[in-house]
């Protein structure tokens, strides 16, 4: 178990060192649990970070589908943009990787 934690932290550090994506936007990394928020038909994918902050996820359809099927699972998400909207913080997701148990 300790080896997995060290490998995860090393991957997280490497990912945070990446200065920008292909469009030149700053890239950040956050870990948390995927869930769906809102009421039908106005649901949105979200991530609850380990500090309790909830972020609405904006991502491409294929990634959205994969994350939608992963509710309740922990992921590390790379994102390029953070917007503060009335409904809460919204992040533009570049990629997401599950965190092993």
- Specify the length of the chain in residues: 101
Residue 41 confidence (pLDDT): 87
Residue 47 confidence (pLDDT): 97
pLDDT along the chain (101 residues), means of 10: 56 49 70 93 92 94 94 95 91 94 79
Residue 36 confidence (pLDDT): 94
Residue 25 confidence (pLDDT): 63
| Nearest 10 degrees: Cα torsion 83, 88, 89, 95 | -110
DSSP assignment string, 12-48: HHHHHH--B-TTS-B-EEEEEEEEEES-TTS-EEEEE
> For the chain, which residues make up each domain, given as ranges?
2-98
CATH no., domain 2-98? 2.40.50.500
And the tokens for 34? 């995927």
Q: Which residue has the tokens 């909207």?
A: 85
The pTM (predicted TM-score) of the whole model is 0.73
């Amino acid at each position: 178990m300790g080896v997995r934690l060290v490998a995860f932290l090393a991957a997280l550090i490497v990912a945070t060192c990446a200065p920008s994506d292909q469009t030149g936007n700053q890239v950040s990394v956050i870990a948390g649990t995927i869930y769906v928020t809102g009421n039908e038909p106005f649901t949105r994918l979200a991530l609850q970070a380990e500090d309790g902050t909830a972020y609405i996820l904006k991502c491409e359809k294929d990634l959205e589908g994969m994350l939608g099927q992963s509710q309740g699972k922990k992921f590390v998400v790379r994102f390029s943009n953070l917007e503060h909207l009335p409904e809460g913080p919204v992040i533009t997701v570049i990629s997401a990787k599950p965190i092993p148990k």
